[in-house]
């Protein structure tokens, strides 16, 4: 867990935003597949949501540092 947050802190804002968009798209596709009964990806969904939250936290930290 610590490694993911450190990795996110090492990225610049553009890379973080790109990964956030990709993660959001993956979450959407995974939820859609789960609704259709095509996959059992609950564990993957949880990990994607946590990773997205870490990236948002890093962006917020940087926003607060600027003030």
pTM: 0.81
User: With a cut of 50, which residues of the chain have pLDDT below it?
Assistant: 1
State the pLDDT at residue 1.
Answer: 47
State the pLDDT at residue 30.
Answer: 92
pLDDT tens for residues 54-63?
Answer: 999 999 999 9
State the pLDDT at residue 2.
Answer: 59
Buried b (16+ CB within 10 A) or exposed e, 16-34: beebbeebeebbeebeeee
State the pLDDT at residue 3.
Answer: 67
Domain boundaries in the chain? Answer: 2-66
The fold of the 2-66 domain, in CATH, is Helix Hairpins (1.10.287)
């Amino acid at each position: 867990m610590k490694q993911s947050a450190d990795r996110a802190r090492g990225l610049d804002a553009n890379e973080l935003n790109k990964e956030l968009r990709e993660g959001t798209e993956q979450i959407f596709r995974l939820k859609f597949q789960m609704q259709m009964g095509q996959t059992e990806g609950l564990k993957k969904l949880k990990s994607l949501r946590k990773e997205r939250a870490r990236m948002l936290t890093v962006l917020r930290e940087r926003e607060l540092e600027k003030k």
